[in-house]
Structure 1
Amino acid sequence: MIELPGVEVTRDFLCWEKAIASCPFLDPVTPNELSFYMDYLESGMQSDKNWFYNWQDYDTYRHAENCPEAIPAWYRYYDSKFGTDYLMMLPDKKGEEEKLYIREWRKQNSSSQEAELHEEELLTGPGPNLYVNYETLDFFISTFESRNLKDYFLAAELKPEDATNDAELQDALRILSRAGKNVTLPKAADWREAIITGAAQYKTSRIMANLPFVYDEYLFRLKNGIAQRPTDEDQTYQEYVAFTTLYRHQVSEGKKIADQK
C-alpha cells in the first residue's frame, strides 16, 4: 500500500486539490511538464468548462466509460500520450473499505438519541443561516451520501441546453470585451459559435503567452521559500477540510466497530 503524507482517507485528495500549491507529496512542476501542458493547449483538445472543478472525482470518472466528455480533456490528452487510461480500470479498494466503515458507523449511531434533532431544529437549524455553494454541496453529498443520491443531485442541477449556450455566449462576449483590441473570429456556421470559439482561442493564446512568466514566479517563490499567491480556492479548501475531518472520524469509528465483530 502506498502511503502519502497528508492523506489518511480518500477524501483528503479532494482537499489537496484545493491547496495544490502546498500539497506535501507533489514534486515541483518541471520545465518538461510545463512544455507538455503547452503542447496540450496547442492541440485543440483543451475544453474550457467552468463546471469542471472536482478534478479528483475518481468514482465518477471510473463510471464514465459511456460518456468520455465527463472526463476532463486534460486527463484524456495525458492518457492518449502516455497510455495511462487503464488506471481507471483499477478497483477502488480504499474507497470501498471506507464505505464499509461508514455503513458500520451509521448502523451504530442511527438510533442514538443524541443524533436525533427536535422538529424545530430540523426546520431552522441551531446555527446561523448558511449560503448555498454548489461546489461545497456536491462535495458534501459525494462524501456522506449514496451514489444514487449523488446521481439524483447531478440530474436535478442539469440546465437546459439553451441556458448553457447562452451562458457560454455571455462568457465569450465578456472575454472579448476585455481584450483591449480587435479579435479576429473564426469562420462558423452560426455567429454564436464564431464568438464562443473565437473567445476560447483568444483566451488560450493569452494563457500560453503568460504561462512562462507565471512559471518563473512560481520557481522564484519556491527557491526563496515564499508562499505561492492565495487563490479563490482557499475558502473552499477550509470547507472541504471541515467535512473531511468529520468523514475521517466516521471512518475511524466505523473501523473500530468492524474490527470488534
Structure 2
Amino acid sequence: MLVLLPPSEGKANAVEGAPLELGSLSLPGLTAAREAVLGELVELCSGDPDKAREVLGLSEGLRGEVAKNAGLRTAGARPAGEIYTGVLYDALGLATLDAGARRRAADSLLVFSGLWGAVRVTDRIPSYRCSMGVKLPDLGALAGHWRTPMAEVLPAAAGEGLVLDLRSSAYATAWKPKGEAAGRTATVRVLHAPTRKVVSHFNKATKGRIVRGLLTSGAAPENPAELVEALRELGYTVEAEAPGKAGRAWALDVLVDEIH
C-alpha cells in the first residue's frame, strides 16, 4: 500500500541537525527537479523580500518565512514526519506509533511537496514554505514542473498494490496514477454525515486518524475493495463507488457523525 499525503502549511522549525543532503532523499529520480526548485527558491528569497512574499503568496505576518527559505541549504534538517505539523499530522501522531507501525509508515507514506516533489516521512528536510500552487519566475507553475519527473518515478514507487490518495487537489495535479494503476487507486472524501458536506479541519483530522488506524492495525489491503473492508473493520461508515471506466480511480466517502 502506498499512501499519498498532502504536506502541511505549518511546519516545525528544524533548528537542530545536520543540513539537507539533497542526494540522500528517497526517489532519487527527482533529484534534478528538486535542485532546480531549491536553487530558484533560495535565490528568490535571498533577494527582494517583498517580491518573494508576492510570488509565494505570503502575508506580511509571514515575512520570516522568506528568510527561512533563503537559508535552506544550511538550515538544520529533521525527518519529514517531524517537520510536517497541522491537523492531519497531529491526528496521525507519527511520534506515538509503536515500532511496527512506524516501520509501516516509513514504507507506505509519501508526502507531496511543492519544493521536494514527494518525500518519505523518514527523509531529512529543513523547514520551508513553498506550496504546490506557487508559480516561480523562471520555472513557472510548480505542479507543471513536477508532472514529467513524477510520471517517470512514481509508477515504480506505487508498485503493484493499492494506492490510497488523500491529497488535496493542488497536490493531486502533480501526479495521478494512470491506466491499470488508476484502478488500484482510491480517493477519499470525509463527509459530515447529517449534512454530507466536507468540513476542512474535520476532513483533515479524520484522514489522519484513518491512516493511523491502518498503520496500527497492521491492515494490508491490496486493492480498493479490500480497503473498504479494512476501514469498515476499523469502525468507519464507508460508501464506495467503483470506477465505471478503465483508467479511473475508486471514490470512497467516509461518513462521520461528529465534527471534532
Higher RCO by CA contacts (8 Å cutoff, separation 6 or greater): 1
Q: TM-score, normalised by structure 1?
A: 0.22
Structure richer in strand, relative to its length: 2
Larger Rg: 1
Q: TM-score, normalised by structure 2?
A: 0.22
Structure richer in helix, relative to its length: 1
